[in-house]
Structure 1
């Protein structure tokens, strides 16, 4: 049984005598808005020394609240999101990569929304989830009551609906599971809906938790705020990059991409300003904790302060983010704390801020850093942070990994290559390896890393087995299988190229009758296609005319149990997988009965 205790009632008693309805409403609860951008990079901010990018509202947020100046995230997005949502190392959660079925969160994991919701919070997500698109891994299956998201890792990726693929303006999004054509620019849409959500909750005197995760400034880059792009396109961008960038790489193609990224970031900043203005309008400004971070390093060469590295790297440039915390009722403006902290600390920190108790059986890896944000932490214990990511079906020890302490950092590139030791206070660019001159420190951090890897890799008996998509549950009567979640099958199965192939792992919850719709791309010129679909031991076959790019197997039976879905399209001498497969439930129960 889960039990919760909301300490915010004490605040209500304190203000009962104030006589102000607005003050009374605000004091009854603490709202939390967690904002995370996609591929922004840890130094794409004016307040951190970026002299080209314009971020006045984030600069104001940093000055008006508290900030962690040594905050760490994972090298890529899904691992960061799993850490953030669960307060646990992502290697415990089965969400270990960004595609091929490894960007799905184990349904047994408990998200922050699942803890706040029973305590009376209205929970909403707006933007990017990237932890599973199908039941039981969708955000609405994981504690979120209001959901407006795109599928997969981003707009423009293979999980996008065909009619909306790649559109940042007027995108096709999913509102509480229903596909909807939206109007406007995607980031503006997310903020608009988030502001309406908290406004309604304030009217109902309900506390709000919002996870506002933009897909900007992630690519594709052809659909960006055009006025802002023209502004940056007209600027001299030669100094928009770190000192390690080869001057030969500074060319018009790079400048054009940077101008587009910067326009997306400034648009986010403008929305931050709109959000704070709305919080003031509805009387929720003082008692709303707004947290802001980016999910990993920059998506290409950009300014990273005195460091090196970008997205995918465990160098500082790849795993650093500021953590901004704005909460006028509780945090002193201008507070900057230099202790190390990480994304998995957000979960327990939100619980501390809201007064909601952690479920007794839930084991978190993160620490409550609210005392650090309040500068009330005396004798803060030493700790080590662990970060790792690389491609593959399961992690390999000492591969693109880092262990970070307050004074030292140890990085590992390959299992058979000794780790490198750096003292970041003297060497922020990670240039001088101290492993030979400080062997005791290197040995200690290597041992800590090895112990950590062994621990997280044995969270479950089948720790790195991918979660299965469930089919036939009343909560999702049409299951869409996309290339985002397919698994290896053959030499071209790893990617999203047109001729790639893969299979899906599903669990059919009970026998039932389904229509199976297969969508695929056609060869040029179009030709007749031979379509074979296998679900478990059941095989379906059809010849599709040259003028058709989809086929429906009608009224077929799917059998209860774990199954593998394998679809093959053959056109001439080319064999490829489908773009999408729809499993449309018609009825349940054993047809033979």
Structure 2
């Protein structure tokens, strides 16, 4: 190992004891879909949504029966990338700056890259769009991604028009036009990456992190949608009060089209690996990031995205590795979670010492031999809105067959009062229908104590660093820096609620700051508009053109330092609008 690589690993808290030879290191393809539920597969009992390729993969794989993720996007991704509970990483929500992950976290991609792997991401990152939090800053040598939490969200380029077909994406941090449906594009580029890695003689880690079947649902694979329009989805539909069945049926037809398109691409993936002669030596992993984005069939469970019941936090986990894992093996009565994937993969790749501070553990031996007994340990999942964790709010503890849950809802940022715990025996009651909190009091007390210990630990992890991370403006790393609504602190996604950014300028200099309105804004053209900027205790104003949706502050002299930065658009009549994108250019 070269000296500089060893020095970096030591700086990460990693001591390399030994590694398997380069020829024996497996490739890794990790596929994770967005907002696809546990019950959206034939292999999990869905007779209406067609997933033949994934059903076949399940038969060829080691399947982990009780595998947990967080109930929403970014927390799951932070846990997966670091092997740590997301609350340690500053990533605790999905928007308003709370989905940015601290840049000093050591990622799976960083460790694999430093151990000779080619590393690529294709699709959704959702852990920070600016330096130093982008995939390219966090261990990925190649990236083709959308920004923010999904296409059609406020991190998108102004003219992307929420399109999944021919989308504007970001390749190695540069905006590019693409041709085709986004899922096809991400898979196709991952195939090219695999081929190039093989030609270079390097094992690869391809993180195919899809944005489908996340909303919006207006742009879906048309041929598949036309077929699914003829399907009656009422057997798998769970209608909330007031929902229109015909509209929900159409929505499920669109979601099903997106899912079957993913399945088709999985078939292309397996063929590509076979054609390259890499099937036996490649670990292929499939999972979802959280529960489904509508109330629908989730197997024997209940719940959906954002909820702590099993349907919101359980995912199939299929791991295909013909050289090592027995096809069709099933891991039962053993609980694992997203935090376990990083240590497990590092173990599989021969990294004998892993980054300090991981909460997860390698479960490789259990995958190889399902009869191996693992020591029971609690898995804790907590998610709700807000800049910081709130004790007892929207949380669960899983230990053995028992699950303690406090389903207080996710939209409020704080929980006040006494928690109303629920306790379930999941071995006997996977649907969580029989609350045993008043019967198994000793079990409940034990799990509450486990939660409180966990809460004390993770809530103190970055107590000296309150709030979201700083976006760093550094000319040689990102110029311009484009600040989007995705990371605006204390705002909302309503255009009349203005928030601010935490920004660190690393260099004294002259900066142009450009304010851009969303193309969908309906600004009154007969009024005078002004762009306003607050930075470092100073206020600036400049004319704003409602026709172009642009106003520019030119050549501002800004000393290096940390600031809060607020931009807004104001009419002469007193209307205030959020700036869609704020571009900071170091001259």
Shorter-chain TM range is over 0.9
Q: Which residue of 2 aligns with 1:590?
A: none
Q: Which residue of 1 aligns with 2:458?
A: 456
Q: Which residue of 2 aligns with 1:4?
A: 16
CA contact (8 A) 1:115 1:358 kept: no
* CA deviation map 1:234-285 (0-9, x unaligned): 011111235xx45874611100110111100100000000001000111111
Query: What's the TM-score once normalised by structure 1's chain length?
Result: 0.92
Q: Within 1, Cα distance between the matches of 2:243 and 2:18? A: 54
Q: Stretches of 4+ moved more than 6 A in 1? A: none
* CA deviation map 1:210-233 (0-9, x unaligned): 111000000110000011111111
CA contact (8 A) 1:238 1:250 kept: no
* CA deviation map 1:512-566 (0-9, x unaligned): 1111111024544423202211221333212334434101122221211111111
The count of aligned residue pairs is 562
* CA deviation map 1:122-159 (0-9, x unaligned): 10101000000000000100000001000000000000
CA contact (8 A) 1:6 1:119 kept: no
| Structure 1 stretches lacking a partner, 5+ long | 13-26, 587-593
Q: Within 2, Cα distance between the matches of 1:559 and 1:512? A: 6
CA contact (8 A) 1:398 1:413 kept: no
Q: Which residue of 2 aligns with 1:374?
A: 368
Q: Within 2, Cα distance between the matches of 1:79 and 1:165? A: 27
Q: Within 2, Cα distance between the matches of 1:552 and 1:573? A: 20
Q: 1:375 to 1:61 in 2, by over 3 A?
A: same
CA contact (8 A) 2:25 2:350 kept: no
Q: Within 1, Cα distance between the matches of 2:46 and 2:17? A: 43
CA contact (8 A) 1:8 1:30 kept: no
Q: 1:388 to 1:574 in 2, by over 3 A?
A: same
Q: 2:58 aligns with which of 58, 62, 84?
A: 62
Q: 1:431 aligns with which of 427, 430, 433?
A: 433
Q: Which residue of 1 aligns with 2:174?
A: 178
2:346 is aligned with 1:351: yes
> SS of the counterpart of 1:8?
coil
Q: Which residue of 2 aligns with 1:33?
A: 29
**Where in structure 2 are the equivalents of 1:264-279 lying within 5 Å?**
264-279=258-273
* CA deviation map 1:404-441 (0-9, x unaligned): 12210000134512311100122222121111111000
Query: What's the TM-score once normalised by structure 2's chain length?
Result: 0.93
CA contact (8 A) 1:457 1:463 kept: no
2:311 is aligned with 1:310: no
Q: 1:337 aligns with which of 331, 335, 344?
A: 331
Q: Which residue of 2 aligns with 1:17?
A: none
Q: 1:117 aligns with which of 113, 118, 123?
A: 113
> SS of the counterpart of 2:566?
strand
**Where in structure 2 are the equivalents of 1:203-222 lying within 5 Å?**
203-222=199-218
Q: 1:505 aligns with which of 469, 481, 502?
A: 502
CA contact (8 A) 2:308 2:407 kept: no
**Where in structure 2 are the equivalents of 1:121-136 lying within 5 Å?**
121-136=117-132
Q: Which residue of 1 aligns with 2:12?
A: none
CA contact (8 A) 1:33 1:291 kept: yes
Q: 1:189 to 1:396 in 2, by over 3 A?
A: same
Report how far residue 375 of structure 1 moved.
1.9
> SS of the counterpart of 1:260?
helix
Q: Which residue of 2 aligns with 1:254?
A: 248
CA contact (8 A) 2:366 2:373 kept: no
> SS of the counterpart of 2:253?
helix
Q: 1:201 aligns with which of 197, 202, 218?
A: 197
Q: Within 1, Cα distance between the matches of 2:274 and 2:120? A: 20
Report how far residue 510 of structure 1 moved.
1.4
